[in-house]
């Protein structure tokens, strides 16, 4: 059985680590969930388990090698399940990191997204030395917009992208 990557970020209820191929079923689950991808701009990109495997091996693992960071597997300690992702990724077109997160709806409304996002922001700044971190959230995604301001980002612009009105935070 493949070894699970080490924990990088540990919070009271969550852990974050690199994704690995053993996570394929969980990645497939949260990447194909309509409520999870509702405001993401990439709904429908993952349609099969092979698509989920490609996301792990061709995107996240490649970004870990190239930049030293990417989205991390978000593991709920209570059931040891990968429930989504959280972390920063490097945006080529921006020339800087973006913080983002997703999780299955049964874990919403418990403060877990804030717990994860704050820990990921602290890790990005303190351990990775990243600055000038940005984020985007669809205007209608009220919870995510609140989280982004709560972790210290400031709304700087609103524009249309991916068929949505999007708030930009820096």
> Options 3.30.1360.70, 3.20.20.80, 3.40.630.30, 1.10.1530.10; which CATH number does 7-131 get?
3.40.630.30
Name the pTM for this structure. 0.94
Residue that has been written with the tokens 């990439």 in this structure:
42
Neighbours of 156 (CB within 10 A): 10
DSSP H or E segment with residue 169:
strand 164-169
The phi, psi pair for 88, rounded to 5°, reads -105, 150
pLDDT tens for the chain, residues 1 to 170: 568 899 999 999 999 999 999 999 999 999 999 999 888 877 778 999 999 999 999 999 999 999 999 999 999 999 999 999 999 999 999 999 999 999 999 999 999 999 999 999 999 999 999 999 999 999 999 999 999 999 999 999 999 987 899 999 99
Counting every residue written for the chain, the total comes to 170
Concatenated DSSP letters of 71-129? -EEEEETTTTEEEEEEEEEEETTTTEEEEEEEE-GGGTTSSHHHHHHHHHHHHHHHTS-
Domain range summary for the chain, segments of one domain joined by +: 7-131
Residue among 138, 107, 23, 132 at smallest CA distance from 71: 23
């Amino acid at each position: 059985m493949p070894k699970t990557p080490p924990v990088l970020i540990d919070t009271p209820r969550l852990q974050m680590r690199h994704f690995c191929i053993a996570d394929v079923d969980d990645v497939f689950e949260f990447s194909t969930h309509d409520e999870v991808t509702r405001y993401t701009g990439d709904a429908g990109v993952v349609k099969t388990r092979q698509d989920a495997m490609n996301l792990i091996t061709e995107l996240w693992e490649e970004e870990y090698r190239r930049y030293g960071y990417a989205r991390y597997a978000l593991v709920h300690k209570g059931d040891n399940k990968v429930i989504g992702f959280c972390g920063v990724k490097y945006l080529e077109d921006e020339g800087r990191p973006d913080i983002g997160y997703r999780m299955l709806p049964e874990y919403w409304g418990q403060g877990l997204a804030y717990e994860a996002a704050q820990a990921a922001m602290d890790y990005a700044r303190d351990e990775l030395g990243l600055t000038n971190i940005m984020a985007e959230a669809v205007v209608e995604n009220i919870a995510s917009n609140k989280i982004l301001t709560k972790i210290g980002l400031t709304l700087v612009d609103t524009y249309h992208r991916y068929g949505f009105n999007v708030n930009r935070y820096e």
